[in-house]
Amino acid sequence: MQLGATVPASGESSAKLHAEGNHPMKPRRAAIYCRVSTSDQNPDLQQNELREYCQFRKWDIAEAFTDKMSGAKDRRPALDRMLAEARRGRFDVIVVWRFDRFARSTSHLLRSLEEFQSLGIDFVSLRESVDTSTPTGKAVFTIIAAIAELERSTIRERVIAGQKAARRRGVRFGRPTVEVDVEVVRKLRDRGLSWRSVSAEMGVPKDTLIRRCEA
């Protein structure tokens, strides 16, 4: 402290700190997510490690979410609820045990990370040591995004190449063309049959018959 400096009273110091916005920061709110494949498996291993990690980082655990089902399921109640709560701004960071406990695929992981980024929520995968709040974690996220884009581009190129090769072999894409004998249809109509009856008689959808006869 410099000589001659005035030391403010404790009340004055507290008020000044508050006014300048230097008051202590609130702990970050964390959501932890666990998943086990069957009801026979115990999620305690995952939960204990995630809770210890949050305690080490001095994060408050706002809520813990657990699903007991296959990772291939499109709908997971606990995960869906966590994502809904995240969109309401209830969490600052989401912590999972491992990528495959959270995401169904690389594309699902990427979409989720992109959404968390837009919401201002960090993502931590404990086993992969990924933390998007750090420069290294942000770099890993960029790499994952690049790999996913490469995967999509490769699949797209293979599909296009396969279609071109199939066309050269005479394969036609789209719905197969339905052959309609228009003269027979008109004769049946002249006999007074309804379009529905003609459709049943010929085994061709009614709308298809009408389009062909009006063409």
Domain layout of the chain by residue ranges: 25-147, 182-214
| β-strands 93-96, 122-125 pairing | parallel
The reported pTM is 0.57
Class of domain 25-147: alpha beta
| Closest residue by Cα to residue 87 from 53, 112, 106 | 112
Q: What percentage of the chain reaches a pLDDT higher than 70?
A: 82
pLDDT in tens, 192-202: 888 888 888 77
pLDDT in tens, 167-198: 777 777 666 666 777 888 888 888 888 888 88
Question: Which backbone phi and psi does 129 adopt, to 5 degrees?
Answer: 55, 45
Report the C-alpha gap between 14 and 22 in whole angstroms: 9
What residue type is 123 in one-letter code? F
Specify whether 37 is catalytic: yes
Q: Which of these ranges, 12-16, 25-29, 92-96, 167-171, has the smallest mean pLDDT? A: 12-16
Please provide the average confidence, as pLDDT, over all residues in the chain. Answer: 79
Q: Which of 37, 105, 129, 194 is catalytic?
A: 37
- pLDDT above 90 (res 55): yes
Among the residues of 68-134, which ranges form H helices? 77-87, 99-102, 106-119
